[in-house]
A = this chain, B = another copy of it.
Amino acid sequence: MPGSSFGKIFKITTWGESHGKGLGVVIDGCPPLIPLDEDTVQKMLDRRKPGSSSASTNRKEPDRGIIMSGVFEGMTTGTPIMIMINNKDAKSSAYYTLADIYRPGHGDFSYDKKYGIRDHRGGGRASGRETAARVAAGAVANEILKKAGVSVISYTLELGGIRAEKFDTGSIPETILQNPFLCPDMDAAAQMQARVEEVKKAGDSIGGIVEVKVTGVPAGLGEPVFDKLDADLAKALMGIGAVKGVEVGTGFEAARTTGSQNNDPITPTGFATNNSGGILAGISNGDDIVVRAAVKPIPSISIEQNTIDKSSTPTKLSVQGRHDVAAIPRVNVVCEAMVSLVLADHLLRQKAVQWTK
């Protein structure tokens, strides 16, 4: 059964490969009468553009999102919105040398085992480039969230082992734009810069942690027992290629606390603490939603690695070409988009539940 669709009511289906003709997304289930234009989509797409940070590849892809359907005279009509991005600057020749070699840490080996065939150009469907379609859809989801008073922000909590320790949560939106790593702690950002340079020089790569915070979420979103809001968020984030861990609220730290420490006392004006990350029994409780995604190091490195080719012959591989040193900060907006998609979907799902209210 295919897996290129996400969401139940605000439902997206993506298509396309890294070095084919293009890629895109069909959004089915966007409510009508929401103002939408290509600028709104482009602003979000630009945030995952390569080349905006020293950790990023030099590939210059314009990534123009074209709205092909579902919008009429500046408004959504309720019918499917298709947003397409044509591929232009795709040097696939660079990848042909890799046609028969399985790159460690990539999906080359597992895709071949699954399908018996693989579009090897630039990672094909498994390329990080596929996430551009999700970001375009996330931009539309955001318009719904905005209308509902919900806002989503993402930032770098950790990169290459350096953690943002001290920051004012109120000024995150401004601070993260003042350093190339979207880090809310300027001191940490400076150390990240040094770490990135060092790693780049070594031909290696690094991972990190992205935090996404959602404010203004109404209580009541999420469906027992399998489609819990945190279950859907976990699936959304773990479905990003580079992500290997997801946590909500205190997350793995909760495993080391006691109930009296971890429970959030309830007061007439809200929860006294937010260890739960805004979700209780899988349903939003009205507090901020806080989730984190652990991002592994980019697997494409120029350091030589042992691997095999299609005929199982051992070989050495040093990946050249244009690659990011870290998925962060480009992946941040992808995490944000996935969270937005989940929330827009559950916001609409709750409408049917509220039928009798």
Contacts and interface: CB of A to CB of B under 8 A. Distances in A.
Contact of A248 (B235, B238, B256, B303): B238
Copies of this chain held together in the complex: 4
A251 interface: yes
Given A113-B286, A259-B297, A272-B306, A248 B245 contact: yes
State the 5 A-B residue pairs at the shortest beta-carbon distance, nearest first.
A107-B281, A3-B227, A3-B223, A245-B247, A2-B29
A11 B347 CA distance: 19
A221 B107 CA distance: 12
A147 interface: yes
A136 interface: no
A158 interface: yes
A82 to B, nearest CB: 4
Contacts of A232: 235
Contact of A244 (B11, B250, B357): B250
Interface string A33-57: 1100000000000000000000000
Given A2-B223, A234-B235, A245-B245, 20 more contacts: A3-B223, A4-B28, A13-B13, A20-B69, A22-B68, A31-B355, A78-B115, A104-B263, A105-B264, A111-B283, A114-B219, A130-B225, A228-B238, A231-B239, A239-B282, A244-B250, A244-B277, A246-B246, A257-B296, A266-B308
Contact of A254 (B294, B347, B351): B294
A228 to B, nearest CB: 5
Contact of A5 (B28, B249, B255): B28
A219 B77 CA distance: 17
Nearest to A75: B117
Nearest to A279: B110
A349 interface: yes
A118 B77 contact: yes
B262 A207 contact: yes
Interface stretch (A166-174, A177-185, A186-194, A198-206): A198-206
A33 to B, nearest CB: 5
A79 interface: yes
Interface in A265-293: 265-268, 272, 276-277, 279-286
Contacts of A355: 31, 144, 347-348, 351
A119 interface: yes
Interface in A325-357: 347-357
A237 to B, nearest CB: 8
A250 B15 CA distance: 30
Interface in A117-171: 117-119, 124-126, 130, 144, 147, 158, 160-161
Contact of A259 (B113, B124, B205): B205
A21 to B, nearest CB: 5
A294 B227 CA distance: 18
B207 A256 contact: yes
Given A22-B69, A110-B280, A13 B28 contact: yes
